[in-house]
């Protein structure tokens, strides 16, 4: 008697391409084709999740633990990006344009400059988090999109209430979009439909289910991701996009802020969240603490079988 696993899936996750090499019209040394899984995480021949490391252009609002872990880099996004690329060896860099969160922000030229400088400092594909304010979205995303033209960036973040600017920049310059909904499978689906109607092709959307921090609602994120993956594998094309999940959100919680051994705490909590997120179906795991990279890489290599080339 052979006992076999028979999940009864009928569909697979859609593939999304991130980054463009010279052959693909960009300047990245590598590009990634993510998604394509036709089973649960770690089962079958699905691809390993990628690790994205977060940097920003204005660290004032970032957790102390990150500013102290990256002291000499936090005021220099290109140097920070180069460090993430060559020393930490992340798969992707997520550049957060936190400067745009300041009141009365209007330094749009600086946005373009930062994006271009980071693109020059690293040859990894980039995710760019633009503004979070509808009043300046249009200009900020336009600048990001333009500065990274042909590089197949991932632009974030589209939400149900403000997605048109980021969608427009993605369509105009050939980038993908992160679609974030508040930990709810139906809202995730709805936003994907809105983006499609706005003209964003399905294979250029990533779902961000919104990451509740460990101990502060992570269980909702975990189950929402499992439900999205389940729905996608059962054939719901509106949810069949790869997911991006940000365990780095865990770094803002009290346990980490108040910790005596704050770096050790940050790494433990971030890695725990990232491993669980990967098992729930995340395709891109976003971390912020340099110490999280190595243990997370080891865990993923052990969880996933060697990829079949």
Partner 1 sequence: MALKALDIYKLLPKKNCKECGDPTCLTFAMKLAQGKVEPDLCPYLDEEAKNILGASTRPPIQKVTVGMGTLSFTVGEEFVFYRHEKTFYHQPGIMYSVSDTESDDRIREVVSQVRGCRLTRIGIDLVLNGLAVYAESRSPERFAAAITVVTQDNPDLPLVLMASDPAVMEAGLAICGNYLPLIRGVNDQNCEAFCTLAKKYGAPLVVSGNDPEQLAANASRCTGLGITQLMLDLSGTEGEFIRASTLVRQAALARSVPGLGYPVFLDVRSSGFSGLITGITKFASVIVTRPLTRTEMQAALVMRQNIYTDPQKPIQMTPGLYRVGSPGRDDPVFLTVNFSLTYFTLQGYLESTRRSCWLLIVDTEGMSVLTAVAAGKLSESVVKDAIEKSGLASEVNHKTIIIPGYASPLSGRIEEYTGWKVIVGPRDAAEIASFIEEELK
Contacts with partner 1 by CB under 8 A lie at 1-7, 40-43, 212, 214-219, 222-223, 226-227, 230, 253-255, 259, 261, 264-265, 267-269, 271-273, 275-276, 279-280, 295-296, 298-299, 302-305
Cβ atoms < 10 Å from Cβ of 132: 17
Q: How far is the CB of 285 from partner 1 (least distance, A)?
A: 12
Dihedral angle computed from the Cα positions of residues 35, 41, 46 and 48, in that order, rounded to the nearest 10 degrees: 80
Q: Which is nearer to partner 1, 114 or 268 (CB)?
A: 268
What distance in Å separates the CA atoms of residue 296 and residue 214, rounded to the nearest whole number?
16
Instruction: Compare residues 197 and 306 and give the one whose CB is closer to partner 1.
Output: 306
Q: How far apart are CA 35 and CA 141, in angstroms?
A: 25
Element (H, E) at 192: helix 185-197
User: Which of residues 89 and 298 has its CB atom nearest to partner 1 in the complex?
Assistant: 298
Q: How far apart are CB 160 and partner 1 at their closest, in Å?
A: 17
Return the number of the residue (191 or 271) whose C-beta is nearest partner 1: 271
Q: Is 48 helix (H, G, I), strand (E, B) or coil?
A: coil
State the Cα–Cα distance between residues 147 and 149, nearest whole angstrom. 6
CB of 79 to partner 1, least distance (A): 29
Tokens in use for 106? 């209007």
DSSP 8-class letter at 66: H
Nearer to partner 1, 40 or 126 (CB): 40
b/e 37-61 (16+ beta carbons within 10 angstroms → b): bbbbbbeeebbbbbbbbbbbbbbee
Q: Report, in Å, the least distance between residue 239 CB and partner 1.
A: 14
Q: Which is nearer to partner 1, 96 or 268 (CB)?
A: 268
Residue 43 or 194: which CB sits closer to partner 1?
43
Cβ 49 to partner 1 shortest distance, Å:
13
Residue 177's nearest CA partner among 110, 128, 247 is 128
Residue nearer to partner 1 on the CB measure, 2 or 72: 2
Kindly state the smallest distance separating residue 11's Cβ from partner 1, in Å: 18
Shortest reach from residue 44's CB to partner 1, in Å: 9
211 sits in the region (left: phi over 0; alpha: psi -120 to 50; else beta) called beta
In 3D space, the residue among 233, 226, 244 whose CA is nearest the CA of residue 185 turns out to be 226
**Which residue in 164, 241, 251 sits closest to 211, CA to CA?**
251
- Contact yes or no for 13/232 (Cβ under 8 A): yes
**DSSP-based three-state secondary structure for 44:** coil
CB of 104 to partner 1, least distance (A): 17
């Amino acid at each position: 008697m052979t006992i076999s696993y028979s999940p009864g899936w009928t569909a697979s996750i859609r593939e999304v391409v991130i980054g463009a090499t010279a052959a693909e019209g960009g300047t990245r040394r590598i590009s990634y084709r993510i998604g394509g899984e036709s089973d649960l995480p770690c089962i079958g021949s699905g691809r390993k999740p990628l690790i994205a490391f977060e940097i920003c252009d204005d660290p004032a609002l970032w957790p102390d633990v990150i500013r102290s872990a990256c002291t000499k880099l936090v005021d220099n996004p290109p140097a920070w990006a180069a460090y993430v690329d060559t020393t930490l060896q992340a798969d992707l860099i997520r550049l957060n344009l936190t400067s745009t969160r300041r009141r009365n922000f209007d330094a749009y030229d600086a946005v373009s400059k930062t994006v271009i400088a980071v693109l020059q400092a690293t040859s990894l594909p980039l995710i760019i988090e633009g503004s979070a304010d509808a009043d300046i979205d249009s200009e900020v995303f336009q600048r990001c999109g333009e500065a990274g033209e042909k590089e197949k960036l991932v632009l974030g973040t589209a939400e149900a209430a403000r997605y048109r600017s980021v969608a427009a920049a993605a369509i105009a310059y050939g980038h993908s979009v992160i679609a974030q909904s508040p930990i709810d499978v139906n809202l995730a689906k709805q936003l994907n439909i809105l983006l499609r109607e706005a003209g964003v092709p399905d294979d250029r959307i990533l779902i961000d289910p919104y990451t509740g921090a460990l101990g502060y609602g992570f269980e909702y994120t975990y189950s929402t991701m499992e439900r999205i993956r389940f729905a996608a594998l059962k054939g719901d094309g509106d949810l069949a996009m790869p997911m991006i999940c940000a365990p780095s959100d865990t770094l803002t919680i009290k346990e980490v802020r108040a910790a005596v051994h704050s770096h050790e705490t940050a790494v433990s909590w971030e890695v725990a969240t990232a491993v669980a997120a990967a098992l729930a179906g995340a395709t891109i795991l976003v971390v912020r603490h340099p110490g999280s990279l190595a243990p997370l890489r080891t865990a993923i290599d052990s969880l996933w079988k060697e990829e079949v080339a």
